[in-house]
Amino acid sequence: MDHPSSECSDDTALARACACGDASARHQAFHKFYPNLLRFFANKVRSDCVEELIHRTLLRLFERCFAEYTGQGRLISFVLGVAHRCMLEFIREGRRAELRSDPGSERADSIRPSPSQVSAQRQRHRLLREIMRTLPPELQTCLETYYWNDQTTDEVAEALGLPVGTVRARLRRGRELLKLRLAERGFDALPWFEVSSAGDGETSSVSGPARTSCIPKT
């Protein structure tokens, strides 16, 4: 087997090396994708289940799925697609009670920003995280994959195994719900979530770092 002696410089080489069992490549993949997987699962399951799902996803990738990567599309999209399938399996196993689709015992009024709270930025992030958890899982997954991982609609569709039109519709509906629920809490959504209708196409009207800042990473 041909193993790389240094860091893999492209997705195909990294996936191939991981599939061949190269320890340094797997170490590189772990550190490269762990933050994405952590964000993907953290808002969807209880904190004590996050590491289990990350481990399950990485094991699936190392043992089987990296060998199936053909180089079409970005590797991060492929990885998130595997994570999505692991999440669906988790739900089918009857573990819905461990999902975080509800903001929990914390009341909405308790997360309204006030002068006594630490900072406006942290308050914004906290509120938006709580609102995200109230969205239907399919909308939440599309929004997080699109914004937090800076994916195009085509890449989200590939990762989640959905038609592009379905992804665009879910992104549109997810943004509408976020804006509505922010407004219900008494907040102007525009400074938080300034995305125009052009965002329903291939890429958002807010791109790059500006786009990822629209929905704060957890």
Q: Sign of the C-alpha dihedral, residues 77, 81, 82, 87?
A: positive
Residue 169 inside a domain? The answer is yes
**Are both 168 and 207 inside the same structural domain?**
yes
Q: Which residue among 44, 76, 100 closes a domain?
A: 100
Residue 188's pLDDT band (cuts 50, 70, 90) = low
pLDDT greater than 70 at residue 24:
yes
Which residue did the predictor score with more confidence, 97 or 19? 19
Provide the pLDDT for residue 192.
54
Q: What is the pLDDT of residue 141?
A: 86
Q: Are residues 65 and 94 in the same domain?
A: yes
pLDDT score at 170: 92
Determine the pLDDT at residue 135.
86
Same domain, 94 and 152: no
CATH number at residue 157: 1.10.10.10
pLDDT band at 42 (very low <50, low <70, confident <90, very high): confident
Question: What CATH number is associated with residue 26?
Answer: 1.10.1740.10
Question: Is the pLDDT confidence value at 100 over 90?
Answer: no
Of 57, 73, 100, which closes a domain? 100
Within-domain flag for 173: yes
- In this structure, is residue 5 part of a structural domain? no
Judged on CB neighbours under 10 Å (0-12, 13-18, 19+), 109 is: exposed
The answer, as to whether pTM is greater than 0.75, is no
Q: Are residues 92 and 69 in the same domain?
A: yes
Average pLDDT over residues 30-44: 88
Total number of domains in the chain: 2
**Dist CA 183 CA 24 (whole Å):** 48
Shared domain check, 15 and 94: yes
Confidence band for 111, pLDDT divided at 50, 70 and 90:
very low
Look up residue 187 and give its two tokens: 């907040």
What gap in Å lies between CA 123 and CA 128, rounded to an integer?
9
User: Do residues 136 and 173 both lie within one domain?
Assistant: yes
Range of the domain at 147: 115-218
Please give the average per-residue pLDDT across 2-21, as a whole number: 76
Q: Could you tell me which residues are beta bridge partners of residue 79?
A: none
Average pLDDT of span 189-200: 45
Residues 30 and 96 in one domain: yes
Same domain, 123 and 198: yes
Instruction: Give me the pLDDT at residue 165, please.
Output: 94
**85, pLDDT greater than 80:** yes
The yes-or-no verdict on residue 160 having pLDDT over 60 is: yes
Give the C-alpha separation, 199 to 209, whole Å: 15
